[in-house]
Amino acid sequence: MMKRKKGADVNQEHEYGISSFLSAPSSFQEIDICQKISFRLVHKVKQKRPFAISILEIYVTEPMFSDLLKDIYPDSDLFLLKMEADIFLSWKKQHIVQIISRHRYGIPDQFDIIIISPSCQFQKETQALFKLSQVLLQETGIIAGAFLGPDTFLELHTCLNWIENSISEQFPVAYFTPQSYWEKHISKDGLQLEVYQEDQFRKNYHNSQAVFQVAAAFGFFHCVEKELSNDNNHLLHNWMKAYDQGFRTKDGNVYTTYHVIELIGSFL
């Protein structure tokens, strides 16, 4: 596990670098990287939504995550929910309100909840997340829920649309992009993906599950309805260049989760 400094600035790239993937992919736990990416995404979202209440759900309940919360976000509305699907299904609005009440002086008339689930087993938890979102929407009238995770980064665009819509006081019911959306056929320079062929993509471009999830989800599957050659500024194009350059930026520095979130920020 990487050592971290106490009081680490969220913008300190070196604290969360993913520079050793090519040379020593086993030196990092994949879930660790995904957690850090999620932490940064929470921070990025909160910069755009200063009044949002962020709930960070982490299925893997390792002590380090509590330390990260206290260290990086001492003053933010960030909650750690160690969710079990059966328990989560039974949650009521008042339970969420009680959690928020302990953190804030009273409850605002309008509030958002952003749920980031970096290691959620969605076959079990999706139903629970939907149910909670629907209950809160029905009882408060205003709830923005963004459900993200390593296997659901494909939903990033949907989640960001949620944020944009809620800014304009439109509060749609949460939904996930259907699987068929990103299982479409695309062919460019020999890169073909008629179905979700994760293993082959990883063999071709990288040996890390975490980087596959980041690169593919933030880039590849979001260009399924456009030709890559028509959009050289597309995230996928940037990631493919990063692969070609040995996962380094133009100035020779390694790509880090900070760079990743900066790329994500282009969608915000």
What ranges do the domains of the chain cover?
28-177, 181-263
Q: Residue 92 is which amino acid?
A: K
C-alpha span between 139 and 246 (Å, rounded): 51
Question: What gap in Å lies between CA 1 and CA 69, rounded to an integer?
Answer: 17
* Beta bridge mates, 192: 187
What's the pLDDT tens digit per position in 216-227? 444 333 333 334
Query: Distances in Å between the alpha carbon of 44 and those of 39, 206, 225?
Result: 9, 26, 27
Mean pLDDT of 6-10: 32
**Residues 19/249, Cβ–Cβ less than 8 Å:** no
Average pLDDT of span 243-268: 44
pLDDT band of 70, cuts 50, 70, 90: very low
246, 233 in Cβ contact below 8 A?
Answer: no
What pTM, to 2 d.p., does this model score? 0.30
The yes-or-no verdict on residue 127 having pLDDT over 50 is: yes
What pLDDT, on the 0 to 100 scale, is given for residue 42? 53
Q: Is the pLDDT of residue 41 over 50?
A: yes
* Highest mean pLDDT (candidates 50-59, 175-184, 202-211): 50-59
Residue 13 vs residues 57, 253, 262: alpha-carbon distances, Å: 24, 11, 11
Instruction: Measure the CA–CA gap between 157 and 160, rounded to whole angstroms.
Output: 5
* Confidence band of 137 (pLDDT split at 50, 70, 90): low
What's the rounded Cα separation, in Å, for the pair 202 and 34?
16
173-206 tens-digit pLDDT: 333 333 333 333 333 333 333 333 444 433 333 3
> For residue 47, what pLDDT band results from cuts at 50, 70 and 90?
low
